[in-house]
């Protein structure tokens, strides 16, 4: 069967090598066409369009489902001998093309390593394998009276390994932290086949925390197989608050003041004018306004105090709207139908998150939105802010539109990205807050990293001498980034 692939490779994996790999994981090996198609993509939005047009991003040669670290190390050994690519795969919910096997090779699906290994209720931590599904893990914790506090919108399809490898951020992150705050210790098989593990202690001053290089590494250094994570008692109390503001700046300021006073609501979301009517069209009052919603949760007494502070600060410039909009958000927060509805109609879209200090926040928002609106064919240019720090905020931009007649979909898509990245760098913001680099952002990484890019390449070259781990992505020693 001949499928057109966007990234072609020579397919170095002959039958002899495949047999060697199959021998390591006899019950977890496939090179069927169905599986190679299913593992040819993640949730990279442009690939949705390609799929409808009969194209696949790339085809891996085979897929393996290991059940332990030793099997992974053995597969990596063969990959090093034969110089074939290894691509770790979690839930395939990444949005940057991170799992696309640009050079073919072996996709290593971690999902059969998904056991909860131990829970220490006294120390509030749990040791778990990296292939565990987010929702199944959170449900397990809830059953035992705890929460991880890491609830990305992709909770349902993603895995712990993917969160760690992309430095993910959950929607409740302002209270519970991002995944790098939640993880205490890691276990991984590195590109040279060695297995490393760090100690699950609250902190240690024992030189550089080398294992943390794997956070955000997107499969270029090794495969994360296990982690020890902080957990929290399941919240006793949950309070919903919403306010309307006349401007985005007022809403941002209210949140900035709340954090400054040491109050960290679990969920804080501020939608710009377009997204306010998009998501809260059921509420008459919202037209032309900015909505702010919050979920405060935890110990009852603490929440009571936090609620008072939050209301006080929001009340200075905003008008209270009650808990209904928050209930609406809770009920629809996993509704992601728009891609299914609009991509077949020919629309191109993506979401782009950036991190910025308070000082530059409004400037970033305006620069990006204005730049997007300057592109012929862009229809939607909007944003919300959903992760907050005393120092700043993450903006989550959405663009959508139709490529002009003389432009193909990918060029149009990249024009939007180029424009946004440019505006971002000019506004002193970081090009990614939590989606990572993958294929889409690779070309801007050097600009973001400066000299650190060289350091990353050296580290990659030292650990991955044969450049087998997710080649063609960031830090590839054979390619200019």
Partner 1 sequence: MKRIKKYAWIFDALSHVSIATKTRALKHFISGEKKYMIKGKKGDIDAIIKCSLCPNMCKFDCPTFNASKNESLSPAGKAHLAYIFEKGEYDESIVKAIYECCSCDACKEWCFFDYSLADLLRGVRQDVVEEKAVPDDIMEIASGLIERKTMGERRLKEREGKILYFAGCTVQDEAMGIAKAMMKIFDSIGEEYAVLGEEWCCGYPLYNLGFIKEFKQFAKHNADVFKKYSMIVCSCPTCTYVFKQIYPDMGFKINAVIMHSTEYLARMVEEGKINVENLAMDAVYHDPCKLARRLKIMEEPRYLLRYAVNLKEPYFSREETRCCGRGGQLARIDEEISKKIAEQRKEELKSVATDIVTACPSCKIALNAYDIAEIVAMGLK
Sign of CA dihedral 157, 115, 122, 224: negative
Q: Which two tokens stand for residue 208?
A: 């550089």
Nearest distance, CB of residue 217 and ligand FAD, angstroms: 7
Interface segment toward partner 1; rule CB under 8 A; list 131-139, 209-217, 251-259, 300-308 = 131-139
Nearest distance, CB of residue 160 and ligand FAD, angstroms: 8
Q: Return all residues near 466 (Cβ < 8 A) that are at least 6 apart.
A: 79, 80, 83, 191
Q: Which is nearer to partner 1, 411 or 479 (CB)?
A: 411
Considering CB under 8 A, how many residues would be counted as binding partner 1? 65
Three-class secondary structure of residue 71 per DSSP:
helix
Report phi then psi at 208, rounded to 5: -60, 140
Contact of 225 with 129, CB cutoff 8 Å: yes
Chain centroid offset of residue 479 CA? 24
Q: Which is nearer to partner 1, 165 or 239 (CB)?
A: 165
DSSP element (H, E) containing 98:
none
Q: Which is nearer to ligand FAD, 105 or 318 (CB)?
A: 105
d(CA 439, CA 45): 12
Q: Should residue 5 be labelled a site residue for partner 1 when binding is judged by CB under 8 A?
A: no
Contact of 316 with 249, CB cutoff 8 Å: no
Which of 22, 68, 80, 156 binds partner 1 (CB under 8 A)? It is 156
Site map 302..321 versus partner 1, x via CB under 8 A: --------------------
Nearest distance, CB of residue 182 and ligand FAD, angstroms: 12
322-336 per-residue burial string, b: 16 or more CB within 10 A, e: under 16: ebebbebbeeeeeee
Nearest distance, CB of residue 223 and partner 1, angstroms: 15
Q: Should residue 381 be labelled a site residue for partner 1 when binding is judged by CB under 8 A?
A: yes
d(CA 394, CA 356): 6
Which of 52, 124, 201, 455 binds partner 1 (CB under 8 A)? It is 52
Which of 336, 455, 462, 477 binds partner 1 (CB under 8 A)? It is 336
> Among 405, 408, 407, 361, which residue's Cα sits nearest to residue 387?
361
Instruction: Answer with the entry of partner 1, ligand FAD, none that 37 interacts with (C-beta below 5 to 8 A by kind).
Output: partner 1
d(CA 169, CA 299): 23
Nearest distance, CB of residue 437 and ligand FAD, angstroms: 9
What is the binding site for ligand FAD (CB under 6 A)?
Answer: 42-43, 87-95, 98-99, 110, 130, 152-154, 158-159, 161-163, 165-166, 168-169, 171, 218-219, 223-224, 336, 434-435, 470
Q: Should residue 4 be labelled a site residue for partner 1 when binding is judged by CB under 8 A?
A: no
Instruction: Answer with the entry of ligand FAD, partner 1, none that 38 interacts with (C-beta below 5 to 8 A by kind).
Output: partner 1
Q: Should residue 194 be labelled a site residue for partner 1 when binding is judged by CB under 8 A?
A: no
Q: Should residue 415 be labelled a site residue for partner 1 when binding is judged by CB under 8 A?
A: no
Per DSSP bridges, beta strands 62-64 and 106-109 are parallel
Q: Which residue is nearest to ligand FAD (CB)?
A: 162
Instruction: Answer with the entry of partner 1, ligand FAD, none that 235 interacts with (C-beta below 5 to 8 A by kind).
Output: none
Q: Which two tokens stand for residue 93?
A: 């919910």
> Among 256, 284, 283, 285, which residue's Cα sits nearest to residue 270?
256
Length of the chain: 481
Enumerate residues 265-294 that contact partner 1 by CB under 8 A: 273-275, 277-278, 281-282
Interface segment toward partner 1; rule CB under 8 A; list 120-128, 134-142, 290-298, 317-325 = 134-142
Q: Return all residues near 103 (Cβ < 8 A) that are at least 6 apart.
A: 9, 85, 471, 472
146-164 per-residue burial string, b: 16 or more CB within 10 A, e: under 16: bbbbbbbbbbebbbbbbbb
Q: Which two tokens stand for residue 430?
A: 């970081």
Instruction: Answer with the entry of ligand FAD, partner 1, none that 165 interacts with (C-beta below 5 to 8 A by kind).
Output: ligand FAD
Sign of CA dihedral 294, 295, 298, 304: positive
Which of 168, 364, 380, 445 binds partner 1 (CB under 8 A)? It is 380
Site map 77..106 versus partner 1, x via CB under 8 A: --------------xxx-------------
DSSP labels, 303-334: HHHHHHHHHHHHHHH-EE--SHHHHHHHHHTT
Residues that bind partner 1 (CB under 8 A): 1, 3, 30, 32-35, 37-39, 43, 48, 51-52, 54, 63, 65, 91-93, 109, 111-112, 114, 131, 133-136, 139, 143, 154, 156-157, 273-275, 277-278, 281-282, 332, 334-337, 339-341, 343-347, 373, 376-382, 401-402, 404
């Amino acid at each position: 069967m001949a499928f057109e692939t966007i990234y072609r490779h020579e397919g170095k994996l002959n039958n002899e090598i495949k047999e060697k790999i199959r021998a390591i994981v006899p019950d977890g090996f496939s090179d069927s066409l169905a599986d190679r198609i299913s593992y040819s993509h993640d949730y990279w939005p442009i690939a949705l369009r390609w799929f409808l047009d009969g194209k696949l991003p790339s085809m891996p040669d085979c897929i393996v489902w290991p059940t332990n670290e030793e099997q992974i190390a053995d597969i990596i050994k063969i990959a090093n001998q034969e110089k074939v690519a290894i691509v770790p795969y979690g839930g395939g919910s990444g949005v940057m093309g991170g799992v696309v096997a640009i050079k073919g090779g072996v996709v290593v699906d971690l999902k059969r390593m998904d056991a909860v290994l131990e829970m220490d209720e006294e120390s509030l931590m749990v040791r778990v394998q990296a292939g565990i599904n987010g929702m199944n893990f959170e449900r397990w914790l809830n059953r035992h009276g705890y929460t991880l506090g890491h609830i990305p919108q992709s909770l349902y399809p993603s895995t712990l390994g993917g969160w760690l490898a992309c430095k993910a951020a959950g929607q409740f992150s302002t209270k519970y932290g991002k995944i790098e705050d939640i993880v205490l210790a890691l276990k991984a098989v590195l590109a040279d086949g060695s297995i490393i593990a760090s100690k699950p202690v609250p902190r240690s001053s024992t030189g550089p925390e080398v294992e943390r290089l794997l956070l955000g590494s997107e499969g270029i250094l090794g495969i994360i197989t296990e982690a020890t994570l902080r957990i929290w008692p399941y919240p006793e109390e949950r309070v919903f608050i919403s306010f309307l503001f006349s401007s985005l700046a007022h809403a941002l300021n209210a949140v900035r003041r709340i954090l400054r006073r040491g109050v960290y609501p679990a969920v804080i979301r501020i939608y710009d004018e377009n997204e306010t009517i998009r998501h809260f069209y059921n509420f008459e009052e919202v037209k032309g306004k900015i909505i702010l919603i919050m979920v405060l949760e935890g110990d009852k007494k603490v929440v009571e105090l936090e609620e008072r502070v939050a209301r006080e600060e929001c009340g200075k410039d905003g008008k209270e709207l009650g808990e209904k909009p928050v209930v609406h958000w809770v009920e629809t927060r996993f509704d992601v139908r728009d891609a299914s509805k609009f991509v077949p109609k020919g629309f191109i879209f993506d979401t782009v998150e950036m991190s910025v200090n308070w000082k530059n926040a409004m400037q970033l928002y305006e620069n990006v939105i204005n730049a997007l609106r300057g592109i012929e064919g862009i229809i939607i240019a909007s944003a919300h802010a959903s992760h907050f720090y005393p120092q700043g905020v993450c903006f989550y931009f959405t663009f959508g539109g139709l490529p002009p007649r003389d432009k193909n979909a990918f060029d149009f898509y990249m024009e939007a990205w180029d424009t946004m990245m440019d505006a971002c760098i000019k506004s002193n913001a970081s090009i990614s807050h939590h989606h990572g680099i993958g294929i889409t952002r690779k070309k801007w990484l050097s600009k973001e990293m400066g000299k650190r890019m060289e350091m990353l390449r050296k580290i990659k070259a030292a650990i991955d001498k044969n450049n087998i781990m997710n080649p063609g992505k960031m830090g590839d020693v054979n390619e200019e980034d």
